[in-house]
């Protein structure tokens, strides 16, 4: 059986969709419902064996009372907000919870694949290499990134680098993120305004080397991210901590123009003030160094930003699901 934590969330539910498409239904979903119940729509047409609340899952795990042999654990569950202020919550929810699941999975010889984040790289002063020496010196800018960095370091300190897989997701976007509120991608948040008003907003730059909208991120489509996870499921001898981006940083302006083009509107961009609390913690540039994953045997090309946005707009028209 395959356990997918965060299975009702964004990336997790897309992984389940892909597993279903490949004929896998022996899936245990672990998550908790959001207050509005929006995440339930992510699972509405998915086929899986059983759902556990995240706390219930710990009890089942401790009692070893699973309804079958667990051979793979895909751990996507976490609070992914980059603006939260409760450090203790991030440590408990993202770090300590992950440690418990990882220890159990390794003890049971189940393959363990987990979500790390490009937020661990902070401002990028040490680059974006996923080599071990660089992983150890990352300096996150927020509690979310810190919690992910703590777990990456825990994996290294416990000698698990050669036994598990960590994925440092860069800016993932695509269908099934409708429940994420302010943490949705800019494409998702801007779509309705672009369609109805023909304009959208981007943050101003507060660094002279970047013009407004020319801050750059490594945007990766969720379908590509899922394909990497499936590759790792099918190649159990590939282990380590890998970046998961496209390897190409693109400006926010390019993302905006791709969205306008996808809906057939001329670009009209308003540059707005960035909240003061975010200005010192904002990543102006991210770009995944992808040599590690490529050397591990992943050869499939990533979708271009323009093609990915065009594909995503097909889902945004009626908020359909992957």
pLDDT digits (tens, 9 = 90+) for 37-85: 899 999 999 999 999 999 999 999 989 888 889 999 999 999 998 989 9
Local confidence band at 209 (pLDDT 50, 70, 90 cut-offs): very high
265 domain-assigned: no
CB atoms within 10 A of CB 7: 27
This prediction has a pTM of: 0.96
Whole-angstrom Cα distance, residue 213 to residue 193? Answer: 18
184 domain-assigned: no
**What pLDDT is recorded for position 30?**
97
52 domain-assigned: yes
Average pLDDT of the chain? 96
**What pLDDT is recorded for position 34?**
87
Joined tokens for residue 164? 């598990």
Higher pLDDT, 62 or 167: 167
What is the set of active-site residues?
A: 144, 180
Burial 277-302 (b: 16+ CB within 10 A, else e): eeeeebbebbbbbbebbeebebeeeb
Q: What is the CATH number of the domain that holds 99?
A: 3.40.50.720
State yes or no: pLDDT of 280 exceeds 90. no
Exposure on the CB side of residue 285, measured as CA atoms within 13 A: 12
**What pLDDT is recorded for position 83?**
86
- Quickly tell me which residue has 């997918």 as its tokens: 4
Can you give the residue range of the structural domain that contains 155?
2-173+219-247+287-302
Local confidence band at 196 (pLDDT 50, 70, 90 cut-offs): very high
> Which backbone phi and psi does 284 adopt, to 5 degrees?
-85, -20
Q: How many domains does the chain have?
A: 1
What is the rounded average pLDDT of the residues 299-315?
98
What is the rounded average pLDDT of the residues 184-205?
97
Whole-angstrom Cα distance, residue 113 to residue 239? Answer: 9
pLDDT digits (tens, 9 = 90+) for 228-267: 999 999 999 999 999 999 999 999 999 999 999 999 999 9
For a pLDDT cut of 70, what percent of the chain falls above it? 100
259 domain-assigned: no
**What pLDDT is recorded for position 264?**
97
113 domain-assigned: yes
């Amino acid at each position: 059986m395959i356990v997918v934590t965060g299975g009702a969330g964004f990336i997790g539910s897309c992984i389940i969709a892909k597993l279903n498409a490949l004929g896998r239904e022996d899936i245990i979903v672990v998550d908790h419902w959001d207050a509005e119940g929006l995440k339930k729509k992510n699972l509405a047409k998915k086929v899986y064996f059983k759902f556990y609340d995240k706390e219930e899952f710990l009890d089942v795990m401790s009692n070893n009372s699973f309804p079958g042999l667990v051979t793979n654990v895909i751990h996507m569950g976490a609070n992914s907000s980059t603006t939260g202020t409760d450090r203790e919550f991030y440590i408990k929810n993202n770090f300590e919870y992950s440690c418990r699941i990882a220890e159990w999975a390794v003890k049971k010889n189940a393959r363990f694949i987990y979500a790390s984040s490009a937020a661990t790289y902070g401002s990028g002063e040490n680059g974006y290499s996923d080599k071990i020496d660089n992983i150890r010196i990352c300096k996150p800018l927020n509690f979310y990134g810190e919690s992910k960095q703590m777990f990456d370091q825990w994996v290294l300190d416990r000698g698990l680098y050669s036994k598990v897989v960590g994925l440092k997701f860069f800016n993932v976007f695509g269908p099934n993120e409708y429940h994420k509120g302010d943490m949705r991608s800019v494409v998702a948040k801007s779509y309705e305004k672009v369609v109805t008003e023909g304009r959208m907003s981007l943050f101003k730059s507060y660094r002279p080397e970047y013009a407004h909208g020319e801050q750059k991120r490594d945007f990766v489509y969720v379908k590509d991210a899922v394909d990497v996870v499936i590759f790792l499921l099918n190649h159990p001898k590939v282990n380590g901590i890998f970046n998961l981006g496209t390897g190409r940083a693109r400006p926010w302006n390019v993302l905006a123009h791709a969205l306008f083009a996808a809906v057939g509107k001329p670009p009209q961009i308003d540059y707005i003030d960035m909240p003061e609390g975010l200005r010192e913690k904002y990543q102006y540039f991210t770009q995944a160094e992808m040599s590690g994953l490529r050397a591990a045997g992943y050869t499939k090309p990533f979708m271009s930003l323009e093609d990915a946005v065009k594909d995503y707009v097909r889902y945004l028209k009626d908020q359909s699901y992957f």
